[in-house]
Amino acid sequence: MPPAAVGSVAPDFSATDSNGRPFRLSSLRGRPVVVYFYPKDNTPACTAQACAFRDIYQDFQAVGAEVVAVSSDSDDTHRGFADKHRLPFVMLSDGSGEIRRLFGVPRSLFGLVPGRVTYVIDPAGVVRSIFNSQLNVSGHIASAVEAIKAMGAGASK
Protein backbone atom coordinates (compact mmCIF):
# COMPACT_ATOMS: atom_id res chain seq x y z
CA MET A 1 0.00 0.00 0.00
CA PRO A 2 1.43 3.44 -0.91
CA PRO A 3 1.87 5.97 1.89
CA ALA A 4 -0.96 8.34 2.72
CA ALA A 5 -0.83 11.42 0.50
CA VAL A 6 -3.00 14.49 0.04
CA GLY A 7 -6.03 13.35 -1.96
CA SER A 8 -5.72 9.67 -1.02
CA VAL A 9 -8.02 7.77 1.31
CA ALA A 10 -6.42 7.46 4.74
CA PRO A 11 -5.50 3.88 5.56
CA ASP A 12 -7.90 2.24 7.97
CA PHE A 13 -6.46 0.55 11.03
CA SER A 14 -7.45 -0.94 14.36
CA ALA A 15 -5.74 -0.48 17.71
CA THR A 16 -6.62 -0.23 21.37
CA ASP A 17 -6.70 3.17 23.00
CA SER A 18 -4.96 4.07 26.24
CA ASN A 19 -8.03 2.90 28.17
CA GLY A 20 -7.96 -0.53 26.54
CA ARG A 21 -10.96 0.15 24.29
CA PRO A 22 -10.92 -0.96 20.67
CA PHE A 23 -10.50 1.83 18.14
CA ARG A 24 -10.89 1.80 14.37
CA LEU A 25 -10.16 4.90 12.28
CA SER A 26 -13.12 4.24 9.98
CA SER A 27 -15.43 4.52 13.02
CA LEU A 28 -14.88 8.28 12.78
CA ARG A 29 -16.08 8.56 9.16
CA GLY A 30 -18.57 11.36 8.80
CA ARG A 31 -16.43 13.80 10.77
CA PRO A 32 -12.98 15.30 10.24
CA VAL A 33 -10.07 13.67 12.03
CA VAL A 34 -6.58 14.81 12.87
CA VAL A 35 -4.16 11.90 13.28
CA TYR A 36 -0.83 12.94 14.65
CA PHE A 37 2.23 10.74 15.03
CA TYR A 38 4.89 11.65 17.56
CA PRO A 39 8.05 9.93 18.83
CA LYS A 40 7.62 9.39 22.59
CA ASP A 41 5.53 10.28 25.64
CA ASN A 42 7.05 12.46 28.36
CA THR A 43 9.83 14.00 26.27
CA PRO A 44 10.03 17.81 26.13
CA ALA A 45 9.06 18.25 22.46
CA CYS A 46 6.34 15.60 22.50
CA THR A 47 4.88 16.97 25.72
CA ALA A 48 4.82 20.47 24.21
CA GLN A 49 3.05 19.12 21.13
CA ALA A 50 0.48 17.13 23.11
CA CYS A 51 -0.24 20.09 25.38
CA ALA A 52 -0.62 22.39 22.36
CA PHE A 53 -3.25 19.99 20.95
CA ARG A 54 -4.89 19.90 24.39
CA ASP A 55 -4.93 23.68 24.65
CA ILE A 56 -6.94 24.10 21.45
CA TYR A 57 -8.82 20.80 21.55
CA GLN A 58 -12.07 22.74 22.03
CA ASP A 59 -11.41 24.41 18.64
CA PHE A 60 -11.23 20.97 17.01
CA GLN A 61 -14.40 19.92 18.80
CA ALA A 62 -16.15 23.15 17.75
CA VAL A 63 -15.68 22.19 14.08
CA GLY A 64 -16.76 18.59 14.71
CA ALA A 65 -13.27 17.09 14.53
CA GLU A 66 -11.57 14.42 16.60
CA VAL A 67 -7.85 14.25 17.42
CA VAL A 68 -6.01 10.93 17.52
CA ALA A 69 -2.42 10.69 18.82
CA VAL A 70 -0.18 7.75 17.86
CA SER A 71 3.22 6.70 19.20
CA SER A 72 4.99 3.45 19.94
CA ASP A 73 4.57 3.85 23.71
CA SER A 74 2.45 1.33 25.60
CA ASP A 75 -1.15 1.90 26.64
CA ASP A 76 0.03 2.20 30.26
CA THR A 77 2.56 4.89 29.35
CA HIS A 78 -0.08 6.72 27.30
CA ARG A 79 -2.55 6.55 30.19
CA GLY A 80 -0.01 8.10 32.60
CA PHE A 81 0.97 10.75 30.04
CA ALA A 82 -2.68 11.61 29.35
CA ASP A 83 -3.53 11.79 33.06
CA LYS A 84 -0.49 13.89 33.95
CA HIS A 85 -1.18 16.45 31.20
CA ARG A 86 -5.01 16.19 31.06
CA LEU A 87 -5.01 15.11 27.41
CA PRO A 88 -8.64 14.75 26.25
CA PHE A 89 -8.10 13.02 22.91
CA VAL A 90 -7.66 9.42 21.78
CA MET A 91 -4.15 8.03 22.32
CA LEU A 92 -3.09 4.87 20.49
CA SER A 93 -0.15 2.55 20.93
CA ASP A 94 1.69 1.48 17.78
CA GLY A 95 4.41 -0.68 19.29
CA SER A 96 4.84 -2.70 16.10
CA GLY A 97 5.07 0.41 13.91
CA GLU A 98 2.33 -0.94 11.64
CA ILE A 99 0.19 2.23 11.73
CA ARG A 100 3.26 4.35 10.91
CA ARG A 101 4.04 2.05 7.99
CA LEU A 102 0.46 2.27 6.70
CA PHE A 103 0.67 6.06 6.66
CA GLY A 104 4.27 6.16 5.44
CA VAL A 105 5.50 8.25 8.36
CA PRO A 106 9.25 8.69 7.85
CA ARG A 107 11.84 8.30 10.57
CA SER A 108 14.04 11.27 11.40
CA LEU A 109 17.44 11.96 12.93
CA PHE A 110 19.32 9.53 10.70
CA GLY A 111 16.48 7.01 10.89
CA LEU A 112 16.76 6.67 14.67
CA VAL A 113 13.68 8.58 15.83
CA PRO A 114 10.08 7.96 14.76
CA GLY A 115 8.76 10.86 12.68
CA ARG A 116 6.42 13.62 13.81
CA VAL A 117 3.71 14.01 11.16
CA THR A 118 0.11 15.25 11.34
CA TYR A 119 -2.63 14.22 8.89
CA VAL A 120 -5.90 16.13 8.48
CA ILE A 121 -8.59 13.78 7.16
CA ASP A 122 -11.98 14.91 5.87
CA PRO A 123 -15.33 13.32 6.79
CA ALA A 124 -15.12 10.98 3.75
CA GLY A 125 -11.75 9.66 4.95
CA VAL A 126 -9.62 11.55 2.41
CA VAL A 127 -6.32 13.10 3.51
CA ARG A 128 -6.58 16.86 2.95
CA SER A 129 -3.39 18.15 4.61
CA ILE A 130 -0.10 16.72 5.86
CA PHE A 131 2.21 18.59 8.22
CA ASN A 132 5.70 17.21 8.79
CA SER A 133 6.48 18.90 12.06
CA GLN A 134 9.91 17.60 13.08
CA LEU A 135 11.30 21.05 13.73
CA ASN A 136 8.20 22.97 14.80
CA VAL A 137 6.27 20.75 17.17
CA SER A 138 3.25 22.99 17.67
CA GLY A 139 3.21 25.57 14.87
CA HIS A 140 1.09 23.39 12.60
CA ILE A 141 -1.74 22.76 15.09
CA ALA A 142 -3.64 25.98 14.39
CA SER A 143 -3.11 25.27 10.67
CA ALA A 144 -4.81 21.90 11.15
CA VAL A 145 -7.87 23.62 12.64
CA GLU A 146 -7.89 26.07 9.71
CA ALA A 147 -7.66 23.16 7.23
CA ILE A 148 -10.73 21.61 8.82
CA LYS A 149 -12.61 24.91 8.76
CA ALA A 150 -11.75 25.22 5.05
CA MET A 151 -13.59 21.94 4.44
CA GLY A 152 -16.80 23.88 5.06
CA ALA A 153 -20.15 22.34 5.92
CA GLY A 154 -18.76 18.79 5.82
CA ALA A 155 -16.71 19.59 8.88
CA SER A 156 -19.63 20.37 11.16
CA LYS A 157 -20.98 17.95 13.73
Active site positions, annotated: 46
Taking alpha carbons only, the member of 86, 91, 143, 152 closest to residue 123 is 152
Q: Kindly compute the dihedral angle of the four CA atoms of residues 72, 76, 79, 84, in this order, to the nearest 10 degrees.
A: -100
Do 28 and 66 form a contact (C-beta atoms < 8 A)? yes
Alpha-helical regions (H) of the chain: 44-55, 57-62, 75-85, 98-103, 141-150
Cα separations in angstroms, 26 against 15, 31, 111: 12, 10, 30
Hey, what's the torsion of the CAs at 98, 100, 101, 107, to 10 degrees?
A: -130
What is the distance between the alpha carbons of residues 127 and 107, in angstroms, rounded to a whole number? 20
